[in-house]
Amino acid sequence: MSRLALARQLGELLLAVSLAPFLVGWVAQCRAWLQNRTAPPLIQPWRMLRKLFLKDAALAGHASALFRLAPYVLFGTMVLAAAIIPSVATDLPFARAADAIALVGLFATARVFIALAAMDIGTAFGTMGARREMMIGFLAEPALLMVLFNAFLLSGSTALPSVVEHLAAPPFVIYPSLAFAGVAFLMVLLAENARIPIDNPATHLELTMIHEAMVLEYSARHLALVEWASGLKLFNYACLGFALFVPWGMAARGAGTTGLLLAVPALVGKLALAGAGLAVVETLSAKLRIFRAPEFLAMAFLLAVLGLLVHLRLGA
Amino acid sequence: MSIAAPPLLVLLLALVAAWLCLGLAGLIRPHHVGFVARVLFPLGALVSLGVAWTAWGALQPGQSPETLVLPLGLPELPFHLRLDALSAFFVLLVGLAGAGISTFAGGYFRAGQGTAPGLLCLQYHVFLASMLLVVLADDAYLFMVAWETMALSSYFLVTAQHRIPDIRRAGFLYLLIAHVGAIAILLCFGVLQGGSWQFTFQGMRGGALRPAWGSVAFLLGLVGFGAKAGLVPLHVWLPEAHPAAPSPVSALMSGLMLKTAVYGFLRVSFDFLNGGPWWWGGLALGLGLFTALFGAVFAAVQTDMKRLLAYSSIENVGLIFSGLGLALLFRAFGLQLFAALALSAALIHCLNHALFKSLLFLATGSVLHATGERNLGKLGGLIRRMPWVAALALVGTLAIAGLPPLNGFVSEWLLLQAFLDTPHIPKAFLNMLVPLGAAALALTVALAAYVMVKFYGVIFLGQPREASLTHAHDPGWLERVGLGWLAAGCVLLGAFPGLALAASGAVTGPLLGAAVRAGPSVWLIAPVAAERASYSGVLVLAGILAVVGVTFVLVRRLYHGRVRRTAPWDCGDPWQTARMQDTAEGFGQPVRHIFGPFFRMERQLPSPWDSAPRYRIHVEDRLWRALYLPIGRGVERLAEAVAVVQGGRLAIYLLYGFLTLIGLLVFVL
Amino acid sequence: MELLLVLGIPLAGALLLGLVGARRRAAEVNAAVSLLTLLAAGLLVVRVIRHGPMLVWREQFFIDPFNVFLVALTALVGFTTALFSRPYMRIEEHHGRLGPRRLRLYHGMYQLFMGAMLLALLTNNMGLLWVAMEAATLSTVLLVSLYRTRASLEAAWKYFILCGVGIAQALFGTILLYFAAESLLGGEGMAALLWTRLDAVKGQLEPTVLGLAFVFLLVGYGTKVGLAPLHNWLPDAHAEGPTPVSAVLSGLLLNVALYAVIRCKVLVEGSSRSLPGPMLMSFGLLSALLGAFFLFRQRDIKRLFAYSSIEHMGIVTFAFGMGGAVANFAALLHMTVHSLTKSAIFFAAGHASQTAGTQRMDGIRGLLAQSPTIGWGLMLGALAILGLPPFGVFASEFLILTTAMRDHPWATPILLLALAVAFAAIFGRVQPMVFGETDARPLPHSPALVPVFVHLALVLLLGLYVPPALAEWYRLAARLIG
Amino acid sequence: MVSAPSLTAQLLNGFAAGLLLISFSMLSQQRTRRLIALFAWQGAILFASTTLVAYSARLGHLYFSAGLTLVLKVFVLPLVLLRLIRRLEAQWDTEPLINIPTTLLVGVGLVIFAFGLAQPITALATTITRNTLGIALAVILLAFLMMITRRNAVTQVVGFLAMENGLFFAATSATYGMPMVVELGIALDVLVGVFILGVFFFQIREQFESLDLHHLESLKED
């Protein structure tokens, strides 16, 4: 791979890592506005991270190495995921090493590690959170995979760059199957990123929470990494959504520096819209009981499969 | 017939003989553990290495099949042996996993009640040898002999602790179903020879069968080998027998013996019958997927760690068979390349499963020895007592959960790739139906991750649920080496899937006339086409490690590494005990909730006024009552009916003779 | 000369033991006599192999590969059984179930029985064959009733009446045969009763008469083979007699009776080709199936294996009924391995019930823990008789099944059903006896298990490798049977 | 029937008819003593017919076997049996399993069957006595029937011996007798058999206090 490509890859990585906290902040801000609260500043997540990094880590006495390793692995997998999802440019050298199925695999790895870490201390809430997280996981993962299958069948490839190139390529076509897939994807996104109606990122009521329950025992730098990673996860999902459903505005293969520079604001714009939309959805919907989550995700799964069938019937 | 002795085959036979000699050597001093375990088993491991090496040689491109005829067996039907790519692949599997397991066994077996170590050694090596002969056999008689010897030796190994009634029951069920399966296989061969009355496999290859008979043979083969592999509904013996056996034996059975069934199915459906109508593939695919889902769901609700692994074996066998079914399906429509892709996925999954399932079973063995406990409800927190086992078991856990960059992911990735090609099938409703298979597959894989988190988390993580666990400790070096060997295999095959693809390619080439590329380079595999899909385990691994490393260094550089050890915060609730952790049953709850129809549940709910409330739930398999008990009752009834004949009255007996005489006389006239 | 030895030694032994049978060393004498018989049989075999079939003593005796191999088998099992009965009977005596006078009877009758069977095998005269069979019946009747208990008396009585009546039918059949052949061979002398002569002219014999004759002969000798529904005597006699007797009944007498049936079949098939085959096949299938289902509800260990004998005799009969080189070969092989395995099983079972002090299987537990040799003997024997490779029973069953698939596909499922049911029944019973805990005390005399493992080793060998000489021998015999 | 049968043939047929008659009366007879007497008579007729055949066919060894019959079946066996039942106080037979008239009807059916069966055989017989084979068969079957219907050990044995008689009659009349060795063997076997039975009677008696066979029904599958 050329040095330029490598540079582009790294640049995109840095962009993702730095934008992720802003996205979280932006969503929180929008929610606050929609709920007539005074909004925290956009920079808030960054401040949070800095504070956490400065603190001393307080570990449970019998916490094992796995517990301390998990946040790094989590962060690592998410960064890697960011490296293979085209956000600004489609020509990503690293994307050849792992296609979209591997991407799902990476998400699963992250999930397994955080769940294991949550069980390590052996507190009631930690294990409960791990169990719920894994349940959401094994329901959401097939749905996500089916969503991706739609795109794969359309583009005849599982490598995300070529998917994007195929979908973005003129002439502009309307894919009815993608409509189904889009809704399904949104539902998966909500579930996977600990959002209402499945989980509530803001809550600290132990019995309703999933993500929070898992990371209860984390503090300081470890917590910082975990939070950063979850921010990255949201970012990744957003970019994945863009790649599948609004693939326009990305720097195509072989596009010059100007193309890249144009692509960045496009991305930011998309993120802003997406964040706002997410906030709206979260505000409008109420949190489901945990037992209803399966139905919610089953619906997502069915929609994705429907999209698949529509594609196979209409060939579109 | 070969004039000059075929080198590799003869070498393999010599190794088999070596195994048998080691086994017999065990009888010299049957009760001397030091001699049997520390000497014979490691030697057996060395022999396994030789086996693996020979098989690798036989898998090299340009190797033509080797055949040999021994002057043993029936006068008209001496023992035929044959070493081709397909058998070599499974020999390789036996050798690789066998080496690790034997090493571990060297440290594992100790004097206790039950079968004497020396006798165990004999049975163990006979088991290994018979598995190899099953794969090498080239005529029906030798195959059946090896097949049943395999069943028999493993049966004796399963019942090593025969003083425990449950184990006796398990052994009986196992051997019974194995025998029924063997009968089906025998019938299958009887049909296969197709009028040539050649019971050599060569004759069966040539045999031109009428389609109807071909289907009969296929179904018989599916039943016979499915019974050994544990396909639903013939799976009932598996969760009983595998946990009952000593752990190295469980590893052999789950990791290797199930694969011999896969081998047999491949031989029959691909080599002899040479593919068939599309519904064969559909049937195998459907059965496989259902078995996979079934196994995963049941594994999720188990409370015994070895039963959990056994059900997970059922799941993996299901995945393998769905791969085979997909291959048959593609082949039925002449899509050879895609068939090769699916077949490679299945084969590689065989190899992977052999490695990580053995690894996990052996790990449970160490846990069992360290704690004497199989019940998940009484384990926990072992990662702090047994760091080695915990670390190595983590590798196995991640691998079997199908997570990149380990080997489990590779085969699942390939299988999904194969599913992506199903729209090419020129049959309207098939190519709409089969993608749903991909969905089921995805669900199964995700469930497997759930199961393994439960497995690892409950055993190794959290706080010890029993006081006695604090005495647990890591096993000796032999065990560690064995576990390490298998773990290394998982990582290696995960990082360089090209190796496995090369091996499977050597198999699919002769079978299908097509083989997927072993990737453009060692670093990258792109089975169909580079722009279509590509994956590089080693790069992913390197990527994760790099990011983790960089992050770690940065965090330490920019900030600090100060750590304060405290009591767990736990929402500021200090009165929580280890018993308040989630139990295995608790982990099963969501699955019981979502997949309710699969189970037959008996709940014991405490009453609100109960002073010492206890909650018990018993989950069992619907099929047992729906299928097996009725058969048993039917036979019982028939037996009662027959017993009337022997009524004890002499006059009646005379009457029988009289009537028989009269009847025959009438018949003659 | 060898012939004289083979027949003379047992009869002389019978007389000798009739006199000294009550002495302390009678058992050893018994074994020695059997050994001599075995040696004589060996000489006979060697001679037949050298010079081929032979007729001696005014054609009264005829030795061909078919019967000489059975002679060898009979002598061998007779010898091993005698070895086994030495400690077994000591233990019975020790338990006070038998006195010296009974032992004398036992030893005398044992040799007489051997002699009768050898005579039945060797004679060329259908009449003498009948006489020998009857003599065998009578001697075993006394052996079965040896314990003089109610049960043993009842068993012996049923055995006597049923087999006596059966044998009477056989005699009528023989008369018919004679009647049919007389016109051709002349009544003078015994030509019309000599098998070889009959065989020579079988083509010209009157089919209808032969048909009738065969029916009577089949019902007659078939009763002794234990073909369902003529089998009723068999389980009782096996269960109530002393174990060595059960062993020789199952292992040898059934073979000899079947041998008689087959000789008749050969003759009858000469004129009416289609008749005997189907009859034998249907009898065989019925016996196999009934035997298998009977196994299911057994409580008594010896009854269990008696029914298994019925099942296996059914299989062999079926194979002979199919006819043809392969099927006959397989049937002969199956006869061999069955008598070896079954007698071995009875040895083990006998000691097992002695250790437990009962023949009821619920009472027998944890043999492995108490005496590993007995336990393994029983377990391996049971697995062998159930047709699990690598034991020889599988080899013959494999051949029989494959031939059945070719010639009579409809029969294959029935056979397989029988095999599967038998497996479930026997194995489900044997496993709890061998495994598990026990509180039984060791035996007063050390059990003789050399015979068990010798037999099992032979069976194992036959499963993996049929020596060319033996195979050639079987082929010759199979060709004779046609 | 051949035209104008010779005197011997007629006599033989007469004897045969007598045998058949006796078999029937045995079938209907309930008292053991009478049964044994009838058996003796059967033996006597057998002896007569055998001597007749021996005379007409001039067969030396048949005289011998006739003598054997006279000794064994007319005197020895009946006397032994009579002494036995006197010693065992087993004079009376209990009710037969099937009542007499039915048994007789079945018997008639058997006779017809036997004759029908013998038809093709008699067609090709060379001896003057060919018609007797059917009767011999009938006698055998009737004896068989009797064994089935009686539940007393002694009567069963008598039935067994009657069957033996039928066989012997078949042998002598239809085929001019079997060769000597065989006849001796058969006779010996019968003698030994009866001897053993005698022993049995006493053992059964002392074990079961009776010769009634319904005691001997304990060995069975339940």
C461 contacts chain B (CB < 8 A)? no
Strand C61-63 versus strand B66-73 pairing type: unpaired
Do chains D and C touch by CB distance (3+ pairs < 8 Å)? yes
Confidence class for position B132, pLDDT limits 50, 70, 90: very high
Q: What is the pLDDT of residues C266-302, one digit of tens each?
A: 888 877 667 888 899 999 999 999 999 999 888 899 9
Separation CA B634–CA B623 (nearest Å): 16
**Cis before B7? omega within 30:** no
B79 by DSSP, 3-state: which? Answer: strand
Q: Which residues contact B230 (CB under 8 A, 6 or more apart)?
A: B237, B238, B258, B291, B313, B314, B317
C-beta atoms of D193 and C164 within 8 A:
yes
Task: Write out the residues of chain D at the interface with chain C, using a CB-CB cutoff of 8 A.
Answer: 117, 120-121, 124-126, 133, 137, 140, 144, 147, 153, 156, 160, 163-164, 167, 170-171, 174-176, 178-179, 181-182, 185-186, 188-189, 192-193, 196-197, 200, 203-204, 207-208, 215-219, 221
pLDDT (mean) for B140-168: 91
Task: Write down the residue that tokens 């399906």 correspond to.
Answer: B329
Kindly determine whether residue C172 and residue D170, on different chains, have CB atoms separated by under 8 Å. Answer: yes
Which residue, B581, B358, B624, is CA-closest to B490? B358
Q: What's at B229, amino acid-wise? A: A
Q: Is the pLDDT of residue C241 over 80?
A: yes
Numbers of helices and strands, H then E, in chain A = 11, 1
- DSSP lists the bridge partners of residue B200 as B139
Model confidence at B590: pLDDT above 80:
yes
DSSP string, C164-191: HHHHHHHHHHHHHHHHHHHHHH-SSTTG
Q: Give the separation between CA B88 and CA B101, rounded to whole angstroms.
A: 20
- Is residue C53 scored above 90 in pLDDT? no
For the stretch B308-324, pLDDT in tens is 999 999 999 999 999 99
Inside any domain, residue A123: yes
Q: What is the mean pLDDT of residues B408-412?
A: 92
Who has greater pLDDT, D157 or C317? C317
Q: Is B634 exposed, middle or buried (0-12, 13-18, 19+ CB in 10 A)?
A: exposed
Q: Is 70 exceeded by the pLDDT of residue A206?
A: no
* Position B449 confidence tier, pLDDT thresholds 50, 70, 90: very high
Residues in chain B: 669
Range in A176-190, C152-166, D50-64 with the lowest mean pLDDT:
D50-64
Distance CA C2, CA C42 (A): 9
Q: Does C468 touch chain B (CB under 8 A)?
A: yes
Residue D158 pLDDT more than 80? yes
- Name the band, by pLDDT with cuts 50, 70 and 90, for residue C420: very high
Predicted pLDDT of residue B104: 92
Beta strands in C299-455 (DSSP E): none
CA distance B354 to chain C (A): 27
- Cα distance from B172 to chain D (closest Cα, Å)? 25
Give B19-47 pLDDT, tens digit per residue.
Answer: 999 999 888 888 888 888 888 999 999 99
Domain residue limits at A301: 3-15+58-314
Q: Return d(Cα C463, Cα B144) in angstroms, integer.
A: 12
Contacts of B463 in chain A (CB under 8 A): 62, 121-122
Instruction: Spell out which residues of chain C touch residue D204, defining contact as CB-CB under 8 Å.
Output: 153, 157
Residue D222: its chain B contacts at CB < 8 A? 643
For chain C, the chains sharing at least 3 beta-carbon pairs closer than 8 angstroms are B, D
pLDDT score recorded for residue A89: 81
**Contact check, Cβ <8 Å, D219/C154:** yes
Q: At residue A146, does pLDDT exceed 70?
A: yes
Please tell me the predicted confidence (pLDDT) of residue B2: 42
Assigned domain for A75 exists:
yes
Token pair belonging to B571: 């929402």
Q: Is the pLDDT of residue D191 over 50?
A: yes
Tens-digit pLDDT profile for residues B527-544 = 887 778 888 889 899 999
Is B654 in contact with C412 (Cβ distance < 8 A)? no
The candidate with the shortest Cα–Cα distance to B232, out of B190, B187, B177, is B177
- DSSP lists the bridge partners of residue B467 as none
| Residue that the structure tokens 């996981």 belong to | A137
Which of B107-121, B341-355, C3-17, C64-78 shows the lowest per-residue confidence on average (mean pLDDT)?
B107-121
Who among D164, D200, D207 is closest to C150 (CB)?
A: D207
pLDDT band with cut points at 50, 70 and 90 for residue B420: confident
| H or E segment and range at residue B81 | strand B78-83
Is B463–A125 a contact, with Cβ atoms under 8 angstroms apart?
no
Instruction: Give me D221's structure tokens.
Output: 């599958």
Give the model's confidence band at D177: pLDDT under 50 very low, under 70 low, under 90 confident, else very high: low
- Asked if A97 lies within 8 A of B380 by C-beta distance, the reply is no
Least confident of A141-150, B659-668, D81-90, D145-154: D81-90
Amino acid type, C310: I
* Phi, psi (degrees; rounded to nearest 5) at C226: 90, 30
Q: Which amino acid is at A37?
A: R
Choice among B120-134, B270-284, C304-318 with the minimum mean pLDDT: B270-284
In degrees and rounded to multiples of 5, residue A204 shows phi and psi of: -130, 25
**In this predicted model, what pLDDT tens digit does every residue of C350-395 receive, in sequence order?**
989 888 888 888 888 888 888 888 899 999 999 999 988 889 999 9
Average pLDDT over chain B, rounded to an integer: 88
The reply to whether C433 touches chain B by the CB within 8 Å rule is no
* pLDDT at residue B162 is higher than 70: yes
Q: Is the pLDDT of residue B295 over 90?
A: yes
Chain D partners of B649 at a C-beta cutoff of 8 Å? 217, 220
Contact present, B90 and B54 (Cβ < 8 Å)? no
Using CA atoms, how far apart are residues A86 and B578, in angstroms rounded to an integer?
46
Lowest mean pLDDT among B613-627, C82-96, D124-138: D124-138
Q: How many domains does chain A have?
A: 1
* Closest Cβ–Cβ partner in B75, B642, B657 for C293: B642
Q: Which residue of C has its CA nearest to B668?
A: C211
Lowest mean pLDDT among A1-5, A285-289, B529-533: A1-5
List the single residue in C128, C130, C294 with the smallest CB-CB distance to D221: C294
How far D215 CA sits from the closest chain B CA (Å)?
Answer: 10
Provide the shortest C-alpha distance from residue C281 to chain D (in Å).
24
Residue written as token pair 């233990």: C91
Q: Do C215 and B640 touch (CB under 8 A)?
A: no
Whether C316 shows a pLDDT value over 60: the answer reads yes
Q: How far apart are CA C312 and CA C293, in angstroms?
A: 13
Residue range A35-54, pLDDT digits in tens: 888 888 989 999 999 999 88
Q: Residue B645: its chain D contacts at CB < 8 A?
A: 221
* Nearest C-alpha neighbor of B271 from the set B137, B177, B179: B137
Q: Cβ–Cβ of A64/B413 closer than 8 Å?
A: no
A1: pLDDT strictly greater than 70: no
Average pLDDT in chain A: 86
Of B455 and C449, the one with more pLDDT: B455
SS3 label, residue B621: strand
Chains in touch with D (≥3 Cβ pairs < 8 A): B, C
Residue B254 has a pLDDT of: 92
| Confidence at D2, pLDDT banded by 50, 70, 90 | very low
The secondary structure of residue B253, as a DSSP letter, is I
C406 touches chain B (CB under 8 A): yes
Confidence of residue D1 (pLDDT cuts 50, 70, 90): very low
* Pair A25, A45: CB distance under 8 Å: yes
Binary contact (C160, D197; C-beta < 8 A): yes
Nearest-CB residue to A112 (from B453, B536, B571): B453
For tokens 């099938």, the residue is B425
Q: Could you tell me the pLDDT band of residue B620, with boundaries at 50, 70 and 90?
A: confident
**Contact status, residue A59 vs residue B563, Cβ threshold 8 Å:** yes
How near does any CA of chain C get to the CA of B110, in Å? 18
Cβ–Cβ below 8 Å for A66 and B383: yes
Residues of D in contact with B641 (CB under 8 A): none
What is the C-alpha separation between A52 and B274, in angstroms, rounded?
64
Provide the pLDDT for residue D92: 62
Question: Would the CB atoms of A56 and B565 count as touching at under 8 Å?
Answer: no
Q: Does D186 score more than 50 pLDDT?
A: yes
- What are the tokens at B479? 């065990």
DSSP category for residue C250: I
How far, in Å, CA of D16 to CA of B47, rounded?
Answer: 85
Give the DSSP letter string of B135-172: HHB-BHHHHHHHHHHHHHHHHHHHGGGTTSHHHHHHHH
Among the residue ranges A5-14, B383-392, C249-258, D175-184, the one predicted with the least confidence is D175-184
Q: Do B439 and A146 touch (CB under 8 A)?
A: yes
pLDDT tens-digit map of B50-92: 999 999 988 888 788 888 998 888 888 889 999 999 999 999 9
Q: Which residues of C touch D216 (CB under 8 A)?
A: 153-154, 157-158
A30 located within any domain:
no
Chain A partners within 8 Å of B540 (Cβ): 80, 97-98, 102, 106
> Which helix (H) or strand (E) segment is B566 a member of?
strand B563-566
- Supply the pLDDT for residue B589: 83
Question: Distance of alpha carbon B105 from its chain centroid, rounded?
Answer: 18
Centroid of chain to Cα D133? 14
- Taking CA atoms, what residue in C is nearest to B160? C435
Can you tell me the mean pLDDT for C148-173?
A: 89
Residues in chain C within 8 Å Cβ distance of B635 = 293, 296, 421, 424
Identify the residue with better confidence: C135 or B207.
Answer: C135
* B541 chain-A contacts, CB cut-off 8 A: none
The answer as to whether A26 is a domain residue is no
Residue A49 inside a domain? The answer is no
Counting CB pairs under 8 A, whether chains A and D reach 3 or more, is no
Q: What does the pLDDT read at residue C189?
A: 59
Spell out the residues 6+ positions from residue D102 whose beta carbon is closer than 8 angstroms to its own. Answer: none
* B480 compared with A199, residue with greater pLDDT: B480
Query: In this complex, how many residue pairs, one in chain B and one in chain D, have their CB atoms less than 8 Å apart?
Result: 39
Instruction: Name the pTM for this structure.
Output: 0.91
Q: Which chains touch A (3 or more CB pairs under 8 A)?
A: B
Q: Is B273 helix (H, G, I), strand (E, B) or coil?
A: coil
Q: Mean pLDDT across the stretch D116-129? A: 70
Across D202-215, average pLDDT = 77
B640 in reach of chain D (CB within 8 A): no
**Which residues in chain A have Cβ-Cβ distances shorter than 8 Å to B436?**
305
Whether the predicted pLDDT of B503 surpasses 60: yes
Residues of chain A positioned with their CB less than 8 A from the CB of B445: 141
Residue B332 pLDDT > 70: yes
